[in-house]
Structure 1
Amino acid sequence: MSQHLSTTPRTAPPHARRREPQRCAGHTPRPRWGAVALLVAGCGLLGTGAFASWQATASASSATMRAATVGATVVGATGGQLTTPVSELLPGDWLYRYVDVTNTSSVAGAFTGSVSSTALGSGLTVAVDSCSADWNPATAACPGTQSALASGPLTSALAVTHGSLAPGAVQHVRYKVTVDSSAPASMMGTSGALTMAVVADLVGGRDRTTG
């Protein structure tokens, strides 16, 4: 009995066939580099520490600071005799003049002064005193405590040490001017005037932390 061998190829059933994806002509699949790049960039940000910065600012204000003021006044006192003219002076004569020295500065300070005379200086001597109260012009006496400030001839300006005065303090000063008994005859008929000057000297260099 002869066997018939068929050479016709068998076709696979439809449900067993594998479907190949359709590709366009010349198309080559590409790797997904976008996702990889995003992952690498995220790791890079974590590595550099680029985070948000939070800040807070606080301030404090100090108390008011004010610079000191410096001032002094010298005015005629006890009757206003400072500007009273005197004539016909002779050797041995004397006269009194009174002033009040006031510290108008905002702090205490050392006060110095001077007395000088024009033209008549070579024949005059002056004594400067202070009183704790107003001088009595009728007797030229101090009703309180009297202190000597300076004395000497007026051949040149005489320095006067008024001492330390508190702010607003008043020093009552008397000048006794005497014509020397040995004044030269060249003074006859000569006119001149007295000049009283006061200087307030306020020196710093102190620790003012506490006020």
Structure 2
Amino acid sequence: MNAGWNSGPAQGEPVRGESGSGPDSPPRSVWLARWLWIAAAIVGFARSVIQMSDRRALVEELRSLNPELAQHEVDAAVNGGIMFSLLLVLAVAALYVLIGNKMARGRNWARVVILVIAGLLVVSTAFTLITTGSGTPTASVEGVPSMALGPLSLAFGIVIALLDAAVFVLLLRPESRRFFAEVKRRGPR
């Protein structure tokens, strides 16, 4: 059995835990859900970096909100916004990894958090696709910038939703439920 970075366990075969014992190891569905969850975080991080790299669009958006700002104020606001956004996206990605690792260790609370977040993101993406496809304009609040939903952002959103849907299904599989029930029955390690 090889539970390294490049390959997973065979179907139904548990992944060795850090202790090397079989009963504490998650089944393949939980192992795969963890890595797909982390992959969704990486894709989301990439989407955010690409969106923030379009400085011209950020400047135009800020100019439309506050046309009276001087250029140095616009530059400072855009730079600060990019830095804050990068830090926030890194923190969210780290949180995804933390929750994914806790889930893979059998923590049911982490599984529930992942199921809720994944479910909400899939529903949100489906709603976005429906409203975008029907030509329904999105509501905007005055004074709040609205990120344009370009084709690249939409593609990233679809990829993330597909990953989240797969995670959702994997965590509801019978072997996954048995794993979490067994860890709960034995108590925390």
Whose strand fraction is larger, Structure 1's or Structure 2's?
1
Higher CA-based Rg: 1
Q: Normalising by the residue count of structure 1, what TM-score does the alignment of the two structures yield? A: 0.19
Q: Which has the higher contact order (CA 8 A, sep 6+)?
A: 2
Q: TM-score, normalised by structure 2?
A: 0.21
Query: Which is richer in helix?
Result: 2
